[in-house]
Amino acid sequence: MSGSLSGAMRASLAALGAVLLVASAAGAAETHNGPGVSDTEIKLGQTMPYSGPASAYSSVGLTELAYFKMLNEQGGVNGRKVTLISLDDGYSPPKTVEQTRRLVESDNVLAIVGSLGTASNSSIERYLNEHQVPQVFIATGATKWGDPRHFPWTMGWAPNYQLEARIYARYVQRHVAHPRIAVLYQNDDYGKDYVKGFRDALGDEAAKVIVAEASYEVTDATVDSQILALQASDANVLFNVSTPKFAAQSIRKVDDLGWHPLQIINSVGSSTGAVMKPVGFERVQGLISAH
């Protein structure tokens, strides 16, 4: 995702504005306001990777802060100022837990809104539901978020990763005559969600056409060794499931090796500003993605 607002983020912010309008109207009718709501303010919280391996997504938090600044300059919501407290979690689940507890127990926010990352949000989902704190518009497309029976206080907003992966698999089936597919993925729920959707869409053919898989950890310095291993499989398709830092590294390494598979990169790693431009547009010609 680049520093500019995507269509999905615009939709998210618009939906959040509607929710705030309802919350503010309800608060005005109450003689006693709940946590994070006063007669003059609505207080929200979130965590973002302003540092760490996914810091390219700091633009998401900065954009949302700018949106609420604009909203407040226009009078807020029913006369209430909206304060978004956006804290750095470094894309580290233990830090997400620490910062979220601070937001709920010290800052007394109304809701956790837009926190980024599958592992990060997973680490706080049970805590927020037990405390009945809304966890809404979270910035991850993991399939797991649609579970109102067990986690009624949690709601995602991004298209789910498995659905996106199915679209890529069908593209390969239609446009590559004899596919030999290599898969690079992040070794967590985020990466595995994509791989599951991709394999499910390929069906019985998956075992035949996927000739190599390699995973990486978010703490890895590079994915050079993984790309070398995948190249050795003689694959003619590379399905790349990675966050921006590793997406940029892998695209660059593929080009340096003179390897020319059809490259499919997931939406998470296809940022123009954080991946394509730094790598060099001449290196990404023909690359397939949802963006």
The residue extents of the domains of the chain are 7-156, 161-283
Q: Report the range of poorest mean pLDDT among 156-160, 161-165, 285-289.
A: 156-160
Is pLDDT above 60 for 270? yes
At 10, the pLDDT band (50, 70, 90 cuts) reads: low
Rounded CA-CA distance 95/212 in Å is 34
**CATH fold for domain 7-156:** Rossmann fold (3.40.50)
Q: Report the range of poorest mean pLDDT among 23-32, 98-107, 171-180.
A: 23-32
Mean pLDDT within 16-24: 54
Out of 1.10.510.10, 3.30.720.200, 3.30.300.30, 3.40.50.2300, the CATH code matching 161-283 is: 3.40.50.2300
Same fold flag, 7-156 and 161-283:
yes
- 104 class by beta-carbon count within 10 Å (0-12 exposed, 13-18 middle, 19+ buried): buried
Rounded CA-CA distance 28/24 in Å is 6
Provide the 3-class DSSP secondary structure of residue 92: coil
Model confidence pLDDT, tens digit, residues 203-243: 999 999 999 999 999 999 999 999 999 999 999 999 999 99
The pLDDT > 90 percentage for the chain reads: 84
pLDDT of residue 2: 35
208-246 burial code (b ≥16 CB/10 A, e <16): ebbbbbbbbebebeebeebbeebbebebbbbbbbbbbbb
pLDDT of residue 159: 81
pLDDT of residue 16: 58
Is pLDDT above 90 for 12? no
At 157, the pLDDT band (50, 70, 90 cuts) reads: confident
Find out whether 97 and 124 touch, Cβ atoms under 8 Å. yes
Provide the 10 A C-beta neighbour count for residue 152.
11
At 34, the pLDDT band (50, 70, 90 cuts) reads: confident
* Torsion angles phi and psi, residue 262, rounded to 5: -70, 120
The pLDDT > 70 percentage for the chain reads: 89
